[in-house]
């Protein structure tokens, strides 16, 4: 199921590209909406465990999920 997460730390296209390059191998296609505030990241999440791991990996990249 596609889920959208909000992150206040995503500033630009380079940030969006870092997220995509780092996580697409694990989570498939990732969409980053730079027009929303806070920024939105949409990804295919198939389980609660995968969701927890995605949020953790986003934080490790420096992009804390503030709301989902």
Q: Residue 63's domain is classified under what CATH number?
A: 3.30.70.100
The per-residue pLDDT for 67 is: 67
The per-residue pLDDT for 14 is: 97
The DSSP letter of residue 40 is E
- Provide the domain limits for residue 56: 2-67
The per-residue pLDDT for 8 is: 81
Domain count, the chain: 1
The per-residue pLDDT for 68 is: 61
Please give the average pLDDT of every successive group of 10 residues along the chain, which has 68 residues.
Answer: 94 97 96 96 96 96 87
């Amino acid at each position: 199921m596609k889920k959208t997460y909000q992150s206040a730390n995503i500033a630009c296209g380079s940030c969006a590209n870092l997220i995509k390059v780092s996580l697409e191998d694990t989570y498939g296609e990732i969409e980053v909406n730079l027009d929303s505030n806070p920024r939105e990241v949409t990804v295919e999440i198939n389980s609660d465990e995968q969701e927890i791991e995605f949020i953790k990996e986003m934080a490790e990249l420096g992009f804390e999920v503030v709301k989902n």
